[in-house]
Amino acid sequence: MGDPALKLALRLGGKSILRRVVEAALASPVDEVVVVLGHGAAELEQELPRDPRVRAVYNPDYASGQSSSLKAGINAIASQAQAAVFLLGDQPLISLQAIEALVSAFRSRHSTVVRPLYRGTPGHPVLFSRALFPELLQVTGDQGGRELLARHQAEVATVELNLESPVDIDTREDYSRLERKFPDSKKL
């Protein structure tokens, strides 16, 4: 879709795509929200809610792939955090219910990884316990936590959700389809 900063700043119902994701996280039972920004960080930081639980972190190595953002986020997480829920900035319809289900499952089962199943299909976000942070810091390229999910498959707890999987906005067509669901959506 071109410029990732421009994509995350696109409006849906009067709010940027990024702000919608951050607000879903803030409404959930997480203690802090670390937002990793790269290209266009100054502009995107203006989209963040003014809330003491929100902290923006700049990833100077953003061009090297998703793993660099993953590492920047992990390195910024509070030392007392027992786990982290990794949300994607381009999924503005992420469900509060999904985040709550992951946190609840982690607290009750103490699993190393908790992943949602949307009507049987794996999706995002994914929760990783602190025990896996050292391995996540070793991930390279544009893989994110996919490799770890495969390696720790036996330790993955799943949460079944009777919801549609959140849509990624990767193309202008994706945005146009989603924009129709919001009556007052406007581009920047």
Peptide bond into 183 cis (omega under 30): no
3-state secondary structure 28-68: CCCCCEEEEECCCHHHHHCCCCCCCCEEEEECCCHHHCHHH
Residue in the block written with tokens 């700049």? 58
CA distance 123 to 84: 16
Other C-beta atoms closer than 10 Å to the C-beta of 64 total: 15
pTM: 0.91
DSSP 8-state symbol, 119: T
39's CB contacts (< 8 A; 6+ apart) are: 3, 4, 5, 62, 63
Q: Kindly state whether residue 186 falls inside one of the protein's structural domains.
A: no
For residue 145, which phi and psi values (nearest 5 degrees)? -95, 10
Per-residue pLDDT at 147: 83
Which two three-digit tokens encode residue 124? 């995002």
Per-residue pLDDT at 21: 96
Residue 56, strand partner residues: 35
Q: Kindly state whether residue 15 falls inside one of the protein's structural domains.
A: yes
Q: Kindly state whether residue 70 falls inside one of the protein's structural domains.
A: yes
Quote the number of domains for the chain: 1
Per-residue pLDDT at 22: 97
Per residue in 70-120, pLDDT (tens digit) is 999 999 999 999 999 999 999 999 999 999 999 999 999 989 999 999 999
Q: Kindly state whether residue 185 falls inside one of the protein's structural domains.
A: no
Q: Kindly state whether residue 81 falls inside one of the protein's structural domains.
A: yes
pLDDT band at 2 (very low <50, low <70, confident <90, very high): low
Per-residue pLDDT at 46: 94
CA distance 33 to 23: 9
Q: What residues make up the domain containing 156?
A: 4-179
Per residue in 24-52, pLDDT (tens digit) is 999 999 999 999 999 899 999 999 999 99
Q: Kindly state whether residue 188 falls inside one of the protein's structural domains.
A: no
Q: What is the CATH number for 93?
A: 3.90.550.10
Per-residue pLDDT at 140: 84
Per residue in 114-156, pLDDT (tens digit) is 999 999 999 999 999 999 999 999 988 777 778 888 888 999 9
| Chain mean pLDDT for the chain | 90
Per residue in 156-177, pLDDT (tens digit) is 999 999 999 999 998 889 898 8
| Whole-number percent of the chain with pLDDT over 70 | 94
How many alpha carbons fall within 13 Å on the CB side of residue 147?
12
Per-residue pLDDT at 188: 45
Q: Kindly state whether residue 162 falls inside one of the protein's structural domains.
A: yes
pLDDT band at 6 (very low <50, low <70, confident <90, very high): confident
Q: Kindly state whether residue 153 falls inside one of the protein's structural domains.
A: yes
pLDDT band at 186 (very low <50, low <70, confident <90, very high): low
Q: Mean per-residue pLDDT for 17-25? A: 96
CB 119 within 8 A of CB 161: yes
